[in-house]
Amino acid sequence: MTVRRFTGVMILLVGLLASAFAQTPVGTVEFVSGDVRVNGEFVDFGDVVGAGDWVQTGSDGEVDVVFDSVNIFRLGPNTVAVLNLGESRQSVDLKVGTFAAVFDRVRTLSGRGTFDIMTPTTAGGVRGTSFFMNVIDSETTYVCTCNGILEYSPSGADSFLDRAAEHSAYYMRRGEDGIVSVERAPEVFHSNAALNQVAAQIDLIIPWGVDPE
């Protein structure tokens, strides 16, 4: 192989790798307050988070993460979550604490077009939706479809699609038999104002009261 041809091949490979990395959906810290650590290290505004990163907040900690420019979520105080913002999958494993999100459009390189959030008692499949979750303990999770559509999959129970123009909330509680019961709940732990504040970080407006398509 001539030097010219070898150089051309190397430039092509570098270009392809750069393109792949540029398309990889990763998150960027848009706001941080108090004690927030990623993989044990203190986090700062503008830091990047991606596949497999552990995020932990202290009693005064909050962090907002943006991905794909039009989606944002906030981890509240005393929260532990594992982020999987990778090429073929976008998800969060919420171990304990709170997760508030405003998603305008979810995409992955696989074209799956959903975001998954896992908790000890249920999993949720998200598209364009505003929602809130609070893992109270290993047996109880509070979930709210604030505006949009979520598919919930409680452990050991049937999945169901939840649609709301403004707040549809449940407690998901694991019984002694391991099956999770689904109980209607009031709007607690969060508010329209708090979600509006998250949305405003990236100039989104939540269409409260409008039925999702």
* Domain layout of the chain by residue ranges: 25-200
* pLDDT, tens only, 70-127: 899 999 999 999 998 766 668 899 999 999 999 987 654 335 457 899 999 999 988 7
CATH of 25-200, one of 3.30.470.10, 2.60.120.1440, 3.40.640.10, 1.10.287.70: 2.60.120.1440
Residues in Cβ contact with 55 at an 8 Å cutoff, skipping those fewer than 6 apart: 36, 37, 38, 43, 49, 63, 75, 79, 80, 81, 82, 83
* Position 191 pLDDT exceeds 90: yes
The model's pTM is 0.85
Average pLDDT over residues 185-193: 97
| Cα angle for residues 206, 211, 213 (degrees, 5° grid) | 95
What are the backbone dihedrals phi and psi of residue 109, each rounded to the nearest 5 degrees, phi first? Answer: -65, -20
For residues 9 and 38, is the Cβ–Cβ distance under 8 A? no
Residue with more model confidence, 213 or 181: 181
